Every structure is written in C-alpha cells, then in structure tokens.
Structure 1
Amino acid sequence: MLETVLLLLIGATICAIAITILFLLRYIGYFFKVNVSTGPSLVQKVKIAYKLHEGQLSDCYQLLTEVSFLWPEKRYIIIHYDNPLSEKTKLRSAVGVIVTGETDKDFEMKLDEHKYQYIELPNVDYSVKTTHPYVTTFSPNLAADKAYRALNCYIHAEKLCAHPYLEIYQDDTIHYMVPLSKQNDFYVDEVIDSLSSN
C-alpha cells in the first residue's frame, strides 16, 4: 500500500514538473510560430542613441540587457549590419534606444555619460517583417534563430534586396524588420568607414 502511494506521488510530481516546463516554454514563446510579410515599417524617421558592438550575437544581447537596465521604460533597437545567422565571429551591430520625442534632460545626460552616439533613421514605406513575444531577457536569444531563418527564407524566395536587419523592442513584442529601401541610411558612420577601408 505504501509503495503504491509513493509511486502515485512520484508520478504526480513528474506530471506537475512536465506541465510546468511546457507552460514556461509556451510563455516564453518557444512554440510561437513566426509569420513573415511585407508591409509598412514600424520605424518612421526616428533618432536613436547607440553603441557599436562587434562580436557574437549572444554578446550583443548582453549589451541590450545593459540598455534595458539603464532605461527600463524606453523602446530599444538593434541594427545588425551582418546576417545574424552568419558564422562570422565579429558581427557588427548598433545597439541602443529610441530617443525621438524625448525631452528628459537627465536621460540625455545619461546617454552622453555612457558615450552613446546618435543617428537618425529614415522613413521607409515597406520592409520585410515579423514579430516574436518579448517576455524575459532570454527572449531575444530564443527568438533570433526562428525569426532570422524565416526572414532569410522569405527574402531569398522573393528575390528581394533587403538589409540591414532591425530589432525593435516595444512593450512585450520584438519587431523584426528588414528595410526594402533607403538601406544605406541605416548604416552608422563607424560601419560606413569600415566598409570604405575594405
């Protein structure tokens, strides 16, 4: 009798753990299906403050965590100048925060104190885009592979000229977009200089 009760308790515990794991995976977007389309861009002529990052994609997301810690209520942005799924060890990305419409002097001073640079992004009528839930600091790493594989497949299948890759973090959603025009206006000076010297 005691053995039966123990077995039932063990079985119930295993089931509870499995259900909890499945719930957590669903919550963080593990089962989320990425849908790609073309349409109006989320970014419409905005000014951003950024730091240039060169390195692995996962390290880029660590810098994003720093940005979100400094300014938890802002919209964050990453511009990837290399294909995020590339095997290159030094991927170039601008990581920062959208500052358009900001009038907080303390915020501006903090940006200058942390040595952020500025660029104004252009209006773009259409881009290739998709979304993914943003619920934890692990969400960008989880979403990147799915989102960028889907975007690359779509761009290749439709034979589109689309670059660079943008991630905009707004509320509980990561918006991925790849502009279909004015692409050169998304390149920061440091990347332009590196391209010119090659």
Structure 2
Amino acid sequence: MSPWALLWVMLGVLAAVAGFLVHSGLLSRVSVRSGPPPIRNVTLAYKYKEGLYDSRGQVLRECRAIGPGLACVGVFYDDPKKVQGRWGRYAVGSILSEGGDETSAKLRQRYEKSGFKFFSFPEVMHAVTTSFPHRTFFSVVLAIIRVYPQLENYIKERRLCAHPFLEIYRGGQIQYMVPLARQGDFYVPELRHIERRLSGDGSGSETDISGAESNSGYSSESSRESSPERRCPTPPPCHGLDHEHQRGKPH
C-alpha cells in the first residue's frame, strides 16, 4: 500500500472514531437543574447487591430478558471513590409500572421466579436531574465522565441534601435523578436492615437513613416535601455510579 493510500485509510479511521464519539454524546450538552423528576410513583422489580460494581451488568441483562420493553433503573448508594476496591451497595431492576398504574400479575411472576423482589418509590416534587444520550455502548462511559462531575458540583455548590443517585434508561436517554425529598423512601428494605444492624438498633423500627424518613406507611413526616433548597445538616451518604452495566447493552 502506498503512503498516500495508508494516509487516507488512517484519516478514514480517525473520522469514523470521531463520528462514533460524537454520536455517542461526546459533545452533548449536560444541563443540571432542580425540579420535577423523570419518574413518579414507580413500582420496581429489583435485586439488591453488594460488592464489585462490575457485576451489575448481569442483573441488567436479566431484566432485559424478562421484560425487554421495560425501562431499567439503577439506584446507587455508595461512591466508588470512597469505598475500597470499588465495593458498593446498589439496587438494579425494571420499572413495572408508574403513576399508580396496575402491574401485570404475569409479569410480576416472571420476575419473582428469577429471584427479583418488589418495591415502590414515591412521587417527589423536587430532585436534581439531568439527562444524557444513550445511543451506543460508549454513551455510558461518556456519561460517567461528563455527567457525574456536574451533578456533584451542582449539589456541593448549593449545599443540597440530595441522595441516592438514580439512573433511568429509556427512550434513548440516560435520565439522572437525585431526590431532594423523602430520600429514605428510595432505600430498599435490605439496605435499611443493614443500617439498623450496624447502628445497633434491634427494635425493628423503620427509622430513617441519614435523617430521611422511611417507606413504612408513608408517615406524615415522610409525606412532607422539602424545597429544592433544603440543606443537609450532615453530608448525605455516598452515591454510586454505573460503570459496567453497559457491558452487554445498557438499559
């Protein structure tokens, strides 16, 4: 191959890579705001996991196999920068219904047979939100690099009480949501049991994690909405990122 032909081949490869990155979201604008979240009053089929974040992709593949047309969601409770060996606590699953709609009994049975549990997240009026294109497997990598630093800076600069971090995959987008109210209602039962055990509370009460109310009966305290400017008296718990679920294909 002549030098000129080789040069043209290299330029073609570079152009293809650049086009792929741009299509994946490299130049997409990330606009973080406080306001209504992208989901409301949802019922999930989920699995709670502890360990390496790399293993979450397996659960997401299960979700897509059982409910291929459903949106997937990840809820991340630990910051990989603050825990050893990328260990973390997270829940991953499918959104079975939203806004009070009934959930299909047959669909629930299929998830239940595969070891999934069920939980509902309440509707909140205020959350830190943004979105990012989800067009290729590399979109998730770009989102980790571009979205999370902006979310963290937005929350830190305004001293907001925002946790945990949610990712919703649907409609060709990754939608991000960090609740500013009723944060405890976004903690799955397994995590609340662990927190009570570590704190030495054997009473079985559904008291909150880091000052947020529990999901038990949606108490009058829990039903109060905070404003977008609510401040945390102490730093909220660590949050997690979804680094690996894109292996095999993200939500």
Identify which range, 146-155 or 50-59, moves more after superposition: 50-59
Q: How has the CA–CA distance of structure 1 residues 122 and 103 changed in structure 2, closer, same or farther, with 3 Å as cutoff? A: closer
Q: Does 1:37 align with 2:33?
A: yes
- Superposition deviation, residue 135 in structure 1: 1.8
Q: Partner of 2:241 in structure 1?
A: none
Q: Does 1:49 align with 2:45?
A: yes
Identify which range, 60-69 or 185-194, moves more after superposition: 60-69
Q: Is the 8 A contact 2:132 2:174 kept in 1?
A: yes
Q: Partner of 2:19 in structure 1?
A: 23
Aligned residues: 194
Q: Does 1:148 align with 2:145?
A: no
Q: How has the CA–CA distance of structure 1 residues 163 and 86 changed in structure 2, closer, same or farther, with 3 Å as cutoff? A: same
Q: Partner of 1:70 in structure 2?
A: 66
Q: Partner of 1:122 in structure 2?
A: 122
Tell me the distance in 2 between the aligned counterparts of 1:127 and 1:103. Answer: 25
RMSD: 1.9
Q: Partner of 2:168 in structure 1?
A: 168
Q: Is the 8 A contact 1:76 1:98 kept in 2?
A: yes
Kindly indicate which of the two structures has a greater share of residues assigned to helix.
1
- Superposition deviation, residue 136 in structure 1: 2.9
TM-score (norm 2): 0.71
- Superposition deviation, residue 144 in structure 1: 2.2
Identify which range, 188-197 or 143-152, moves more after superposition: 143-152
- Superposition deviation, residue 107 in structure 1: 2.1
Identify which range, 52-61 or 39-48, moves more after superposition: 52-61
Q: Is the 8 A contact 1:29 1:139 kept in 2?
A: yes
1:74 aligned counterpart, secondary structure: coil
Task: Give, as a single letter, the amino acid of the residue that structure 2 aligns with 1:154.
Answer: Y
Tell me the distance in 2 between the aligned counterparts of 1:103 and 1:166. Answer: 21
- Superposition deviation, residue 28 in structure 1: 1.5
Question: Structure 2 unaligned runs (5+)?
Answer: 199-251
Q: Is the 8 A contact 2:37 2:177 kept in 1?
A: yes
Task: Give, as a single letter, the amino acid of the residue that structure 2 aligns with 1:32.
Answer: S
- TM alignment of 1:62-141, pairs within 5 A: 62-83=58-79, 85-88=81-84, 89-100=86-97, 101=101, 103-141=103-141
Tell me the distance in 1 between the aligned counterparts of 2:49 and 2:146. Answer: 22
Q: Is the 8 A contact 2:80 2:87 kept in 1?
A: no
- Superposition deviation, residue 8 in structure 1: 1.9
Identify which range, 60-69 or 38-47, moves more after superposition: 60-69
Tell me the distance in 1 between the aligned counterparts of 2:196 and 2:103. Answer: 35
Q: How has the CA–CA distance of structure 1 residues 153 and 61 changed in structure 2, closer, same or farther, with 3 Å as cutoff? A: farther
TM-score (norm 1): 0.89
Tell me the distance in 2 between the aligned counterparts of 1:33 and 1:62. Answer: 30
Task: Give, as a single letter, the amino acid of the residue that structure 1 aligns with 2:40.
Answer: Q
Percent identity over the alignment?
31
- Superposition deviation, residue 133 in structure 1: 1.1
Q: Does 1:185 align with 2:185?
A: yes
Q: Partner of 1:197 in structure 2?
A: 197
- Superposition deviation, residue 129 in structure 1: 0.8
